[in-house]
Structures are given as structure tokens and as C-alpha cells.
Chains A and B, each alone.
Chain A
Amino acid sequence: MTTGIIRKVAAAGVVAALSVSLGACTKGGSSTTNQGTSANGTTELAMWTHNAGNEEELGAITAVVDDFNASQTKYKVNIQAFPQDSYNQSVVAAAASKKLPCILDTDGPNVPNWAWAGYLAPLEGLDETLGKFLPSTVGQYKDKNYSYGYYDVALAMFSRKSVLEKHDIRIPTVDQPWTQAEFDGALKKLKDSGEYAYPADLSTGFTGEWWPYAYSPMLQSFGGDLIDRTDFKSADGVLNGPEAVAWATWFRSLVANEWVAAKGGADSTKDFVNGKSAILYNGSWSAKDAREAFGDDLVVLPPPDLGHGPKIGGGSWQWAVSSSCSAPEGAMEYMKFAAQDKYVASVAEATRNIPATDAAADQVEAFKPGGENDIFRQFAKEFAVVRPETPGYPFIATEFTKTAQDIINGADPQQALDQAVLNIDANQQSNNYFE
């Protein structure tokens, strides 16, 4: 048996070694190394995107790149797609080894941090063009534009007209959203009906960036914030002031009253579609599944006005140029080319997201005034609050997530928020306020 095992392992090793020696040890064909000047004088630019596995968006981006490559002969952009879930780690690792591509996409709230860290270069000559983009689709740091996105997404409440009418709950509108009392009253009615273990699904089962993206707008609607935006130095007074404590107390009460689960399911849209919840709080990407399930019975609602108007998070994936690009003029040329309204429209249409410009929205049926998704664009225009544009945001986001989870699990609001402020302020200070 022994010799058999050794022989099997050795044979397998030889087979694999041969496979590798037959050319497999060479560098990947379209990696960062695939940028530079080729024999025919064309400068090749590597471009990274988070869209591996997302056929629609990758297809739309590929079409933009193909158009650019066909429009001139000086530059050739090569796409390398990464899976979204692990994209940031790949970029940070590449930055650590000084192997960033020329063009890359980035999640909006990371832009200030990556700009401060020196990964990104400011976008030159695009100010006028980007003036027409939704503010939440342009990444800025220290008054300079570093990135732009083709689209934004919007947070919304989803429900069924039939359910709300059955329980005598008013259907809110953009002009007349639910007040806090109305929202609480609606949840109480639904809970008292006995039809739902948890009437609202706020997608508390999600992890990571979802927490600050989804729940800091509720804090802002109460009048609090993640950091004092006058100078981005301290969270004191805004994340632990009376408004923030009121938010935390209310947020905790949602769970205490069993209106919301402390930890929801892995896929809140699927649970909503299966009738497990009456109200879903999620992004505009849920609309397709919900509409397919409920048709005209589906209603898309603005988030409640918790005192300072409804708020939703702003900022999605955006395109940027790396500071280490060996052909920055080529990268900038691509960025200008790709910022045309027709490309904003085509990518937004492929992803069913909110087009970044008015002109593009006019080209996408669903987002034209009265279109089935126009309401999300209204939300983005009326209610979007960009996450704090400070390099300290990733730390703030992690701290907020931890604190919000503690609160929802029963922590004392004031104590939990005070601790979060201490930690955030210490981080800002230890980084010399990122100046």
C-alpha cells in the first residue's frame, strides 16, 4: 500500500509539473504587466473592474472599452475583471506591491482613502463634464475630482399595496413620507396582526459596508452624523449627541419590539418575495425580483422621515486613474471618452441602476419621468447623503458597524456611541487628521 501511495502521489506531481512547465509558469496574460508600449507603438493600459461574474455590467464596460480602442490607435485598454466580493483586497495588495493598473474602479466611499494613500491621481480636464453628474456619483477629495461613476443606487422601502391597505396603513410618497410615529405605528399594526414574526426586514443579516450605507442615513435623518463634516476631525457631538442617542434608542426598540430581527436572513429580498416580511428595506437592486414576484402590487416607498427628512446613502462604483500609471495621458483620454452620456446610459441600463446624468436618464426607458425606476432617481436626487469624504472613512465605517450591531443587540446607546466617538477621534488624531 505504501509504495502504491507514494507512486500515485509522485505520478500526479510529475503530471502537474509537466503541465506547469509547458508554459503555465508564465505571467498571466492580462495582468498589470500587460501595460506598456507594444511593438506596433500602441500604449497598452491595464484596467481593473469588480465585475467578474456580472455579465451585464462587464458586457457594458467591455463595449465602452471596445469603442475607445476602435476610436484611436495610440492606446489600447485591456480589461481585467475581479469578483466584487474580494476586489478591494486585490487592489490593496496590488498597491502594496506597486502593481496597480492604470485605470480601476472603486467603491465611492473608498475614494478619499485611496486618494490620500496615494493610489489615485486627480482627474484632469473633466470638471465641466462631471458638473453634470449626480453629486453622489463623483468621488472627491480635497476639492479635487478623483473618480466618477456611471450610476448610483438608492435605498428604498418595498412593500405590497394589498398588505398596506389590508392593515389600513397609508402609502407614503416622496412628498409625504412616513413620519417616525407613522412608521412605528405601521410596524405595530403588522406585528399585532400575527401574520409576521418580524414585519419589517431591514436587511440586518447583511454584513460589511451595508451597515453604514443603510443605517447611517437613519442616524442622519434623526439629525446625527458619522463625523462632524465642518472639518472631518471629530465625531464628538454628532455621533454621540442627543440626536444620535435618540436614533440608537429607536433603532434598538425596533428589535426589542420584535418588529425587526436583530439578524435577518442572508437574502432579505428572497424572504420578502416569499412573504416572510411585509416591508423590505434594501437597495434599488431588489426591485427586479420584487416586481417579478408582485407585479403592480409592489410599492416602492421612501424611507421614513425621522425628524430631518428622509435620507439614503449615496455613492456606488466609480472609475479612477491610478497615480502609478505609466501613461496617465492615455488613461485620462480614456476617462474623457468614457464619460459620454451614451455610455452612462448603456452601463446604467445594463445594470438597471440610476443613470448619473439627466441626459443619460432620458435615454433609459425605465428612468425617464414616469418610468418604473424613476422613483429611485428621485430618491437619489432628493435624499442622498454621501458618506463622509475623509480618508478615515473605512475606520469610521467599521466602528459604526460594530456599534450599531452592539446597540441592536441591547447595548446602552449612550455608552456605545461614546466609545465609538473615542475610537474614531483617536484614529483621526493618530493619523494627524489625514492632512
Chain B
Amino acid sequence: MSTATHTPKAKVPPAAAGAHNHPVVRAAVALGRVLLALIFGLPLVFMIVSSFKPDNQIFADLASINAFLPLGDLTLENYLGVFDRVPFARFMLNSIIVSVLTVGLGLLVNSMAAFALSRIQFRGQKIILTVILATLIVPFETMALPLLWWSNQLPWIDANGLSQGWLDTYQIQIVPFIANAFSIYLFYQYFDSIPRELDEAARVDGANWFRIYRSVVMPLAGPAVATVAILTFLPAWNSYLWPLMVVQSEELRPAMVGIDYFKQLNVSWGQIMAYATIITAPVLALFISFQRAFISSIASSGVKG
């Protein structure tokens, strides 16, 4: 296992390097990149452009390149309609609370679990790691109902005293997703690449395990933190099925469920595009902010998103 900083760059044979510098190859590579950019970028362009068009025009433009161009009767009506139709600020706040807490607590819990598995020697360590990894193959949909049932049995203490059942709360949207096998694996992989000599030096200086975790290992795990943060944030932000099942009150619904508000018998396509544009913005912003660290960690861990 190696990291970006520890991995020696692969040596490219001179002949192959020369072939890569050939103008035709470079042009083909550039063309390929443009095509990929179009494939991934055009849906976003379509979404943003359509969010400024009336419904009828969206459909009239579908048959031509106009679908991707801000032409015709452009309007902000769709955006105004979004704010009229859904409690937008509330939904966004809910999504931010759920996503940030899931990410924050997830980073803490999963990195600690990975640290223990990577650094502390104990009996059954490998078995535990294997069992954790095995849970990756269980799709969420298969455990959604049992999870719902269990969540409904759990106790909770709040200002009104002890109550049973977590349904229709924030915690039910957060707690089940804090521990994450994939995040543990990513951290484990990354921690394993950090030289153990550093731990030993710290131990000689009298550091305990927590101190090593906090002051030695975590400060070196920036790219892994960024990757896990993004990979945890995305499903938390995009969460749809689970909040649909466990949240009944409008004031606790996250932004993704809000998109259903526009799917009536007569669907408001322009408003859907406007809403989708607004709720996509935080994800794009997050990715752009963490892009460098994210790509660095992906490259070093060999994980393909």
C-alpha cells in the first residue's frame, strides 16, 4: 500500500513517452477528454438552462441543441415557484444538519475504528476487518425495514423525558449512517501506509494510543479525511428512501424529498430543474473545495468512486 507522497512515480519507457507526445495521440486524448466533459457536463447544463425556461419551451427545445442553450423566453418564475411551493430554507437546513453531522461523526468514529484495526494488535483483528468489509455487499434496501423496526424500538431522552422510538427525528437520519464500512476501509488502507516508526517514536516520547491517533496519524491523513468526507457527504445529502420512510413531519424533511413536491399530475418541470439546480450547488461547491485532496486520495488508494 502506498500514498501519493510515498508512491514512486512509475517509470515510463522512453518509447512510450514519445508515443504519448505525438500530436495525433495528444489530439485524440484531448478529444476524448472533451467528449467525457460533454457527457458529464451536458446534463448539468441542461438542468441549469431549463431552470430558466417555461415548461412548454423545455419540451419544445428538446428536439434541438436549444435544449442546452439559454434561448427564448427566459424567466425566474421557476425559482420563485420553488420558494412558493416548498419550505426551501427548512429543507436545506435539515439537509445541512443531517449531512454535516453524519460526516463529522463519521470521520471521528470510522477513523478511530480504522486506527484500532491498523495499529493496535489484538486477537481477531483480521476477522473483524473481514466482517466489516463483508457488510459492504449488503444493499441498504434489504435492511431498511428491519432497521426501521429497530429504530422504532429505541429509547430516547429529551426535554419531555423518556420516550420510545426514533421515528420522525433528526437522530434517525444520522445515527444509522455514522459507522460506515467503506470509510473504515479507506482510513485503514491509508493508515497502513503511514510508517509505524512514527508511532514508535511517539510512544518513546510517552504518547498513548489516543495521542498517536490525534497528533501523529490524523494530521497525516488529510487526503483520506477529504475522500471520506466527500464520500459520506454525498449519500447523506442525496438520502431519499430512508427519510421517506422515517420522517413524517415537514419540518424534519431533507432537501431531496422536497423534489417530490413538484411531481403532481401535471409535473412542473421547470420548477424541478430550478430546485435541482439549487440543491446541487452545495455538492458542487464541496467537491470543488476538496477537489485536490479528493483526487490525491483517490489516486493513492486506488479507489474508483
Contacts and interface: CB of A to CB of B under 8 A. Distances in A.
Interface in A1-21: 1-3, 5-6, 9-10, 12-17, 19-20
Given A29-B251, A32-B248, A265-B59, A83 B104 contact: no
A3 B217 CA distance: 11
B168 to A, nearest CB: 4
Nearest to B252: A28
B161 to A, nearest CB: 12
B152 to A, nearest CB: 4
Contact of A269 (B156, B167, B266): B266
Interface string B258-292: 10111111110100000000000000000000100
A269 B268 CA distance: 12
A26 B248 contact: no
A2 B167 CA distance: 37
A82 B245 CA distance: 11
B260 A2 contact: no
A27 B169 contact: yes
A266 B225 CA distance: 41
A26 B293 CA distance: 37
Q: How large is the interface on B (under 10, 10 to 19, 20 to 34, 35 or more residues)?
A: 35 or more
B295 to A, nearest CB: 13
Nearest to B292: A1
B148 interface: yes
B246 A93 contact: yes
A3 B226 CA distance: 11
Interface string B131-175: 000000000000001001101100010111001010111110000
Contacts of B245: 89-90, 93
A90 B219 contact: no
B211 interface: no
Given A6-B222, A53-B262, A271-B59, A93 B249 contact: no
Contacts of B255: none
A432 interface: no
A85 B220 contact: no
Contacts, number: 169
Nearest to A14: B104
B229 interface: yes
Contacts of B107: 9
A430 to B, nearest CB: 20
Contact of A97 (B55, B56, B149, B160): B149
A2 B263 CA distance: 43
B59 to A, nearest CB: 4
A373 B290 CA distance: 56
Contacts of B160: 26
B214 to A, nearest CB: 10
A29 B219 contact: no
A97 B152 contact: yes
Contacts of A55: 84-85
B105 interface: yes
Contacts of A162: none
A52 B222 contact: no
Contact of A53 (B101, B152, B264): B264
A274 interface: yes
Interface in A262-296: 265-267, 269-271, 273-274, 283, 285-286, 288-289, 293
Given A32-B248, A53-B85, A84-B260, A1 B104 contact: no
A246 interface: no
> Does more than half of chain B's interface fall in helix, strand or loop, or is it mixed?
helix
Nearest to A82: B248
Nearest to B156: A25
A13 B101 contact: yes
A415 interface: no
Nearest to A11: B104
Contacts of A273: 56
A70 interface: no
Contacts of B218: 6
A305 to B, nearest CB: 26
A265 B165 CA distance: 43
B152 A52 contact: no
Given A32-B168, A80-B248, A85-B260, A12 B56 contact: no
Interface string A249-266: 000000000000000011
A39 interface: no
B82 to A, nearest CB: 10
A17 to B, nearest CB: 6
A169 to B, nearest CB: 25
Contact of B104 (A12, A97, A266, A269): A12
Given A23-B159, A32-B167, A55-B85, 19 more contacts: A6-B222, A9-B229, A13-B100, A13-B104, A14-B104, A26-B160, A28-B250, A32-B248, A81-B250, A82-B248, A83-B260, A84-B260, A93-B246, A98-B152, A99-B248, A267-B269, A270-B55, A270-B56, A289-B266
Q: Which 6 pairs, one residue from A and one from B, show the smallest C-beta to C-beta distance?
A: A28-B249, A13-B104, A53-B261, A2-B222, A83-B260, A93-B245
